[in-house]
Amino acid sequence: MYRPRWATEDALKIGKQCLGWEDGQVLTLAAVRTLVALGWVAAGFLYELGVTLEWAEVRRLTRLGGARCGRTGPRASWC
């Protein structure tokens, strides 16, 4: 049980140290508002393109982004 977590922790440590993942922290309310606004712009653009959760690529990105799939609930149909 701990072994898979250990590998994940090592990967995150490498990402933080070598790739500078923690350098992009949002520290101010203005930065959070800007980030949310850009997210809405991106979502609107994808909506205009007709992108839906039925696309395998979009499902893959949602899983990589941290979406959790369960056997029940509103998201069960697209996982």
Q: Kindly tell me if the per-residue pLDDT of 79 is higher than 80.
A: no
Which residues make Cβ contacts (< 8 Å) with residue 32, sequence separation at least 6? Answer: 26
Q: Kindly report the backbone phi and psi dihedral angles of residue 13, in degrees, each rounded to the nearest multiple of 5, phi listed first.
A: -65, -45
Residues 58, 42: contact at Cβ < 8 Å?
Answer: no
Kindly report the pTM of this predicted structure.
0.46
The secondary structure of residue 19, as a DSSP letter, is S
User: With b meaning 16 or more CB within 10 Å and e meaning fewer, what string describes 15-25?
Assistant: eeeeeeeeeee
**pLDDT tens for residues 20-72?**
767 767 678 888 888 888 888 988 898 898 988 888 888 887 777 777 765 55
